[in-house]
Amino acid sequence: MTIGLSTYLIYLALSIALTIWVGRTLHKNGRVFLVDVFHGNEALADSVNHLLVVGFYLINFGYVSLALKLGYTIETAEQSVEALSVKIGMVLLVLGGMHLFNLFVFSRMRRRATAHHQPPVGPDAFTPVQQEAA
Amino acid sequence: MLSLTVLYDPECGLCRRAHEWLNDQLKLVELNFVACASDEARKRYPQLNHDLTKQDLTVITEDGWVYFGPKAWLMVLWALTRYRDWSYRLAAPELLPTTKRVVSVISQNRYQISRAAGLSR
């Protein structure tokens, strides 16, 4: 096995492991948020949680796959480590960005679900109401 | 708060048109329409200044809290599923003065606007 091929394989193994780790973290900890957003409707929360994680995996694996190609040949172990650090670094940044975006989506959903029950403005006055029966 | 009573002006075409439009909208809060200064309005709110309700839209909650003019318009928006977000946006401190100005101009000129738009009786 050439050093170039091993670099690719190490890159793939590390990227996939990292993506799965972040995805599982999101899946595990995002659930509590979503259950709260959907007012305790656990089935709906689980469903949305699952769909979000699927999207997360698709985007990340898509990026990992697109970013695989190095464009130059690797001859030494040093070059391999350097190439790996750049590639894995990019994957980590994309994962971080996706993770923050997910958090943003969760918190936004939560805010929308909880905040908007109060009227936008305060009343001007008060008047007694005569009930129909009276 | 489960329902809001809207005291509207049945003499104004624009208001009747708005009333029809509101009936078709999805609501988060029920809206009951009562003609302003009508017998029904006087019976339900014996202590309210009914001459004032003829000047501008009035919204009253079940508990008796009164919203008048621009605030009443914001409350009506707030009751609608699609426009609740907008009620907060328009009520934000940066936009509220403009909202009030625009709403007041429309309210004060509602008969002229109705006539110009061909909505008069």
Tell me the percentage of chain B whose pLDDT exceeds 70: 98
Residue B93, classified by CB atoms within 10 Å of its CB into exposed (0-12), middle (13-18) or buried (19+), is exposed
Q: Residues B51, B57, B62, B65: is their CA dihedral positive or negative?
A: negative
* Average pLDDT, rounded, for chain B: 87
Q: How far apart are CA B104 and CA B74, in angstroms?
A: 12
Look at A120 and B75 and tell me if their CB atoms are within 8 Å. yes
Q: Residues B1, A131, B10, B51: is their CA dihedral positive or negative?
A: negative
Looking at beta carbons, which pairs linking A69-75 to residues 24 or more positions away fall under 8 Å? A70/A4, A70/A7, A70/A8, A73/A4, A74/A3, A74/A4, A74/A7, A75/A3
Q: How far apart are CA B103 and CA B118, in angstroms?
A: 20
Q: How far apart are CA A45 and CA A106, in angstroms?
A: 11
Q: How far apart are CA A125 and CA B33, in angstroms?
A: 19
Looking at chain B from residue 11 to 30, which residues have their Cβ under 8 Å from any Cβ of chain A? none
| Partner-chain residue, chosen from B1, B64, B90, that has the shortest CB–CB distance to A129 | B64
Q: How far apart are CA A107 and CA A113, in angstroms?
A: 10
Are the C-beta atoms of residues B104 and B70 closer than 8 Å to each other?
yes
| Nearest one of B29, B60, B22 to A129, comparing CA atoms | B60
Q: How far apart are the first and last CA of chain A?
A: 92
Look at B65 and A123 and tell me if their CB atoms are within 8 Å. yes
Give how far the C-alpha of residue A70 lies from the chain's centroid of Cα atoms, to the nearest Å.
27
| Partner-chain residue, chosen from A116, A122, A126, that has the shortest CB–CB distance to B64 | A126
Q: What is the pTM of this model?
A: 0.56
| Partner-chain residue, chosen from A116, A120, A128, that has the shortest CB–CB distance to B64 | A128
Q: Write the ipTM.
A: 0.74
| B116, pLDDT greater than 80 | yes
| A133, pLDDT greater than 60 | no
Q: How far apart are CA A131 and CA B18, in angstroms?
A: 27
Residue B78, classified by CB atoms within 10 Å of its CB into exposed (0-12), middle (13-18) or buried (19+), is buried
Average pLDDT over residues B18-27: 89
- Which backbone phi and psi does B68 adopt, to 5 degrees? -120, 145
pLDDT band of B5, cuts 50, 70, 90:
very high
Average pLDDT over residues A21-38: 86
- H helices of A38-128, in order, are 42-66, 77-115
Average pLDDT over residues B35-57: 89
pLDDT band of A134, cuts 50, 70, 90:
very low
